[in-house]
Amino acid sequence: MRYVVAFVGLLLCGYLLTGLSQVRPGERAVVRRLGRVVATPGPGLWIGLPYPFERVDRVPVDMIRRVRVGYEREEDENEATTPPGQFLTGDHNLVNIQILVDYSIQDDEVEDYVVQAERVEGMIARGAEAALSSWSAGRRVDDILLRGKVDLPLRLPGKIQEDLEPCKLGIVIQGVSVSYLFPPDEVRSAFDEVSRAQTGISTSVEQAQQEAAQRLRQGETEQARLERLARAYAAERRVLAKAEAAAFLRRLDQYRRLKIDNPSILAGIWWDEMGSLLKSMKDKGRIELLDQHLAGDGLDITIAPPPIKKSN
């Protein structure tokens, strides 16, 4: 009889131990007593009523979960009428898209997640498919194929989260990545050719822009060089003009002073200029007639004749 009592005592202790639960770090527990949620304890030891009066669901809240949504090649090979993940574009083409939706459980809404845990991933998949359908219907197939892998991860997480908010699933959409984005196999080769042509056009445009930019820089460099030369030449001519003007004023002042005592000073100046002109003409190899210097007022030697090119 004593053994029976001990055995019953052990069974009773084991039964009472079903009311103990260890909640690990990174987990939240949802305690349901007779089907009603009574507590959501954090990490630690939970002491409650034994089974079946109380049920404890431990949920990892720091774990990222993933749902695959959209196109599946295996189902396409089964010749389904419309494969999952095949969407209609805004220009009435078809495109196959598969995305991966990452989500986590909100720490303060773990109760909502536990209550609807069995349908959470299905709701996420339907919300993602609806967002994909809306996104693809508003765009041309070329834009989808060229920019989809960049555009979808930016636009879809917020849209899916917004659409699922009324469902109270207790989750947060962490991100979306594109794992498959191609046209149907029947027309894929044609799209590949178009893509290659567009890539060639983009390359040609980029090369033309680079060449134009290079020529523009060369033109700006040449312009700057010519402007520097022009400024230097202008400065040089101003210096020479000022020097010539100063020399002329000194000569004029000298002439006015000497004219008082020597009325024939102008003839001396004339012969000085004549000598300089003849010397210059001699240095160039020949002395020409002075007929080209004759004017209505007599001989004008203020302008030297143009240089004569020597023949070989």
For the chain, the first-to-last Cα distance in angstroms comes to 146
Q: Average pLDDT over the chain, rounded to whole?
A: 79
| Closest residue by Cα to residue 125 from 158, 153, 85, 82 | 85
The yes or no reply on domain 65-183 and CATH 1.10.760.10 is: no
User: Which ranges in 68-138 belong to alpha helices (H)?
Assistant: 73-77, 110-115, 117-137
**Sorting pLDDT into bands at 50, 70 and 90, what band is 289?**
low
Q: What is the pLDDT of residue 16?
A: 56
Residue % of the chain over a pLDDT of 90: 31
CB–CB of 23/50 below 8 Å?
Answer: no
User: pLDDT digit string (tens) for 59-102?
Assistant: 888 889 999 998 887 655 555 456 788 888 888 888 899 999 99
Q: Is the pTM of this model over 0.75?
A: no
What burial class does residue 243 get, using C-beta atoms within 10 Å of its C-beta: 0-12 exposed, 13-18 middle, 19+ buried? exposed
Model pLDDT, residue 109: 85
Q: What pLDDT score does 44 carry? A: 65
pLDDT-derived band at 15, boundaries 50, 70, 90: low
What pLDDT, on the 0 to 100 scale, is given for residue 7? 63
* Residue 158: closest CA among 133, 175, 179: 175
Give me the long-range contacts of 74-81 (CB less than 8 A, separation at least 24). 76/185
Task: Quick: pLDDT tens for 227-244.
Answer: 999 999 999 999 999 998
Asked which of 127-141, 207-221, 261-275, 276-290 is least confident by mean pLDDT, the reply is 276-290
Compute the distance between CA of residue 145 and CA of residue 148 in angstroms, rounded to an integer: 6
Nearest CA among 147, 132, 149 for reference residue 88: 132
Across residues 151-174, what is the average pLDDT?
A: 92
Going by the DSSP 8-state scheme, the letter that residue 44 receives in this structure is E
Query: Which residue, chain included where needed, has tokens 């100063």?
Result: 246
∠ at Cα 131 (126, 136), nearest 5°? 125
Which residues on adjacent β-strands are paired with residue 67?
101
pLDDT of residue 235: 93
Could you count the other beta carbons within 10 Å of the beta carbon of residue 123? 17
Q: Which of 7-16, 40-49, 125-134, 288-297 has the lowest mean pLDDT?
A: 288-297
Q: Do 44 and 52 form a contact (C-beta atoms < 8 A)?
A: no
**Interior angle at CA 201, CA 196 and CA 205, nearest 5:** 150
Tokens representing 54 are 């109380």
Q: Please report, for residues 122, 246, 247, the alpha-carbon distance to residue 241 in angstroms, rounded to integers and kept in the order given.
A: 92, 8, 10
Looking at the chain, how many residues does it have? 312
Q: What is the pLDDT of residue 262?
A: 75
Report the alpha-carbon distance of residue 27 to residue 202 in Å, rounded: 51
pLDDT greater at residue 245 or residue 306: 245
Count CA within 13 A, CB hemisphere, residue 32: 12
* 184-213 mean pLDDT: 81
Residue 12 banded pLDDT, cuts 50, 70, 90: low
State mean pLDDT over 192-209: 83
- Shortest CA distance to 88 belongs to which of 154, 163, 167, 141? 141
Q: Per-residue pLDDT for 300 more than 70? A: no
Structure-block tokens of residue 78? 């089964």
CB 107 within 8 A of CB 119: no
Q: Are 287 and 274 in contact (CB under 8 A)?
A: no
Q: Letter for the amino acid at 312?
A: N
Does residue 210 surpass a pLDDT of 90? yes
Rounded CA gap, 119 and 234, in Å?
Answer: 86
pLDDT at 42: 66
Which residue from 95, 75, 68 is spatially nearest to 178, judged by alpha carbons?
Answer: 68
Q: How far apart are CA 146 and CA 182, in angstroms?
A: 10
Note the pLDDT of residue 145: 84
pLDDT score of 295 more than 60:
no
Asked whether the predicted pLDDT for residue 52 surpasses 90, the reply is no
